[in-house]
Amino acid sequence: MEEQQVINEFKKSSIFRLNEGLRMIKISFQQIDEMQLWQLPFENGMCLGNQILHSCGNMRQYLISSLGNQTDMRNREVEFKRTPEIGKESLLALLEDTVAKSISTINTASVTEYLKTREVQGFSLSGLGAALHAVEHFSYHVGQTAFWVKYMTKQDLGFYNGVNLNKTNTANAD
């Protein structure tokens, strides 16, 4: 398999994970009200609203700015300030916009950009490393969000309703 094919598969998988995370956040947010959005799970925990602000900041820094060669405008401290005046719809719109821009960046980045080393948040990473970090980081916070919503609502979120998750693996021949 040549470099371009590997990068294309990486792009496809990264985009799938970002879209899945967005889908799961939307389902989770349907179960909560505006007060629960900014409720702390414990004294030093992170409320759901800050999970979104922080995830967006990280994707903008690692994907849009670094991989996409845009100016890094991240103000990380703001991501952790509780701002109850920001509602669910605004947060979801911000997340949708950030995911869309991240996907566009993933799609348009060249093999050269994926292989180029750059400094991000004090770490030396290739474009592949920066993209992997951002996707993994978002998935981590999606999991935290799902757990916190399940805990607050005592409900299964039904992410995979109608999907048989007990199917056995099969290999696709190329």
**Quick check: is 80 in a domain?**
yes
**Quick check: is 52 in a domain?**
yes
pLDDT at 123: 97
Q: Do 105 and 14 contact (CB within 8 A), yes or no?
A: no
**Quick check: is 92 in a domain?**
yes
pLDDT at 171: 81
pLDDT at 174: 60
Half-sphere exposure of 21 (CA within 13 A, CB side): 30
**Quick check: is 121 in a domain?**
yes
Q: Looking at residues 29-41, what average pLDDT do you find?
A: 95
- What is the pLDDT confidence band of residue 173, given thresholds at 50, 70 and 90? low
Which spans in the chain are helix H? 3-30, 34-37, 48-59, 88-108, 111-115, 127-153
Q: Do 42 and 106 contact (CB within 8 A), yes or no?
A: no
The tokens describing 56, both together, are: 């967006």
Q: Looking at residues 93-121, what average pLDDT do you find?
A: 97
For 98, list phi and psi in degrees, rounded to 5. -65, -45
**Quick check: is 169 in a domain?**
no
68: domain range? Answer: 3-153
The tokens describing 156, both together, are: 């299964």
**Quick check: is 138 in a domain?**
yes
Whole-prediction pTM: 0.94
pLDDT at 111: 96
pLDDT tens digit string along 114-172?
A: 999 999 999 999 999 999 999 999 999 999 999 999 999 999 999 999 999 999 998 87
Q: Looking at residues 82-96, what average pLDDT do you find?
A: 96
Instruction: Please give the single-letter amino acid code of residue 122.
Output: G
Looking up residue 71, the CATH number of its domain turns out to be 1.20.120.450
pLDDT at 15: 98
pLDDT at 95: 98
Average confidence score pLDDT of the chain: 95
Q: Looking at residues 36-57, what average pLDDT do you find?
A: 95
pLDDT at 161: 94
Q: How many domains does the chain have?
A: 1
pLDDT at 157: 97
Instruction: Please give the single-letter amino acid code of residue 167.
Output: K
- What is the pLDDT confidence band of residue 1, given thresholds at 50, 70 and 90? low
**Quick check: is 164 in a domain?**
no
